Homo-oligomer: A and B are copies of this chain.
Amino acid sequence: MTVKIGFPDGKSKDYKKGTTPAQIAEEIGIRNIIAAKLDGEIKDLTTPITRDSRLMLLKFEDKEGKEVFWHTSAHVLAQAVTRLYPKAKLTIGPNWENGFFYDIDTDPFHPDDLSKIEKEMEKIVREDHKIERLELDKKEALKTFKDNQYKTELIKEWEDRELTAYKQGEFIDLCKGPHLSRTGLVKAFKLVKVSGAYWKGDQKNKQLQRIYGVSFPEAKQLKEYLTMMEEAEKRDHRMLGKKLELFMFHDWSPGSPIILPKGTIIYNTLLEFIRSEYSKRGYKEVITPQLFNKALWELSGHWQYYTENMFLLKVDDQEFSLKPMNCPSHVLIFKSRTRSYRELPLRIADFCCLHRNELKGVLGGMTRVRKFSQDDAHIFCTEEQIEEEIKSLLDFFKYIYVGVFKLPFRVYISTKPEKAMGTEDQWEKAENSLKKALDASKIPFKLKEGEGAFYGPKIDIDVKDSIGREWQLSTIQLDFQMPNRMGAEYEGADGKKHVPVMIHRALIGTFERFLGVITEHYAGKFPIWLSPEQVRILSVADRFSGYAEKIAKEFSKKGIRATTDTRTESISYKVREAQMEYVNYIIVVGEKEVNDGTVTVRTRDNKILGQFRSDEFLQQLLREVESKTQAS
């Protein structure tokens, strides 16, 4: 008896029924496999394959591979705690965004306890226990976990008859899995913090101890991660935002940043940068309302699927909402008069603010907000125009991220999910347009099979910052659904009515989030074109203040953001202060400069650039700002 195994590259091969993914991996000689995806479900490597299946072998580099790795790490942590604190009761131990945690009912841990637990974990890893999956019926399970009221509660709530547990050495835990095959694989880990938590997140329940950890297959990866975290902490945008007075938050408007004058300069400069590209690239900007009647959201489908993220209110005794997205209002504009194929592609851009009701608990800094604006645009086009439009979007993307920000990136196409609107033929054409456009633009990409939205396939782009963290900023989504649903149509060359395709796209993404990300990327040292204060002119003594003011005025007139510091403080004090505030160029003027009509310039990193004629230095500044580079 054989089973046919299909691989991601489209090839397939017959194997003996009961063969495990581990055996297949060994046969093809792939190492460092963590788990397997069988027909879309993640399984232990030791799962016997009993029917024809699609197989994908997961490594730590895959998102789902990481999840399995971290889940096993949580079990190693739990085993260590159980050995050291026999009275501790385990509750649940899932992944979190950067690793794993376990909630434990026990006396509060001291941070010092963590190293004791780490030592025990190292022992468990050295012992290299085999990890076994056990299938239990409810009765057996209740017997096995009878001393733990939390696990008992979970077992009773369990809907199926069968449950699973995982065993490693003397330790057994109730768990759906899957897991690594041996504890010895958790080569590198660190417990990073301990905090309070509540059983089922409910403050009425007893407080538990939550231990957070991170783990990796290699010690080198752990070291890199810890270095990155240390670096990330130093450039945390919340800390820098306060120090550099870029933005602030207030309890009376949670999730809505107050962007201070210096932050607003960066924000507006970014926005103007995008706006100036829009005028070159044929976009038309509009300004749209904040409040819309429920009727709009019912027509667009948001009322049915998205209300929990919307801020609702009564207007004229009817249900209204603050808009969470611009797309439906752009369809109203499209529909406001008869449209001809000659007007397509019609690219409608909108910087108006949006509101989404994120849970208060998940709000954080500029990267998780409730109120924000995006470089949002919707392109209405024909099916034939998709490829060309995507190509010009990729060109736009490259201009921003390669040309200006010089950041590496990774591109993914998410394809048709199981539940999807539109015909097979439409999807195939659309996915092919995306692929062809990426190929033509010489941009490599990976597929995320089945991860498209129900209304169309999309391109997601992850951008890597200066300390290696990846941020999903840009998105390009095809939509066959909304224009049809909302009754948008145009008159074709054939004189008949057709439904346009809609492309939802944002390249910067959310400006607030982008501002947070680049604050960390540059560690607050913004390049000159974005910098809130580009030049500060310091006078060596009172009698040179007039000259300093004159230079500042000349620079300001040409659009350079220049200030003066003419206080009676020592010049070294004034230089240090300007450097602490990351002013790009610091000019010192005294006797010599006044006599020669020059300026002496140094950078925020204390590099002395020397003496320049002031008009020549101004020209250099203008060139740097214009070209969005900085010489220093």
Contacts and interface: CB of A to CB of B under 8 A. Distances in A.
Interface of A: 248, 250-254, 256-261, 263-265, 267-268, 275, 279-280, 284-293, 295-296, 311-313, 315-316, 322, 329, 332-333, 336, 348, 352-353, 355, 357, 360, 370-371, 556
A360 B292 contact: no
A267 B287 contact: yes
A289 B371 contact: yes
Given A312-B313, A313-B313, A333-B260, A252 B286 contact: no
Given A261-B286, A286-B259, A253 B316 contact: no
Contacts of A268: 275, 285
Given A258-B329, A258-B332, A253 B285 contact: no
Contacts of A348: 261
Nearest to A289: B256
Given A250-B332, A336-B248, A258 B313 contact: no
Task: Give how many copies assemble into the complex.
Answer: 2
A362 B203 CA distance: 48
Most buried by B among A251, A253, A268, A296: A253
A348 B261 CA distance: 8
Contact of A291 (B264, B311, B332, B360): B311
B290 A261 contact: no
A573 to B, nearest CB: 16
B261 A291 contact: no
A287 B264 contact: yes
A163 to B, nearest CB: 37
A66 B556 CA distance: 51
B292 A290 contact: no
30 contacts: A250-B289, A252-B292, A253-B289, A253-B292, A253-B293, A254-B316, A256-B289, A256-B291, A257-B289, A258-B333, A259-B286, A259-B288, A260-B333, A261-B284, A261-B285, A261-B348, A264-B284, A264-B285, A268-B285, A279-B556, A280-B556, A289-B371, A290-B290, A290-B353, A290-B355, A290-B371, A291-B370, A311-B313, A316-B360, A322-B322
Contacts of A322: 290, 322
A558 to B, nearest CB: 12
Contacts of A332: 250, 252, 258
A590 to B, nearest CB: 24
Please give me the 9 A-B residue pairs with the lowest Cβ-Cβ distance, nearest first: A256-B289, A261-B284, A313-B313, A259-B287, A253-B289, A252-B293, A252-B296, A264-B285, A253-B292
B313 A286 contact: no
A288 B267 CA distance: 12
Nearest to A284: B261
A289 B275 CA distance: 22
Most buried by B among A250, A254, A312: A250
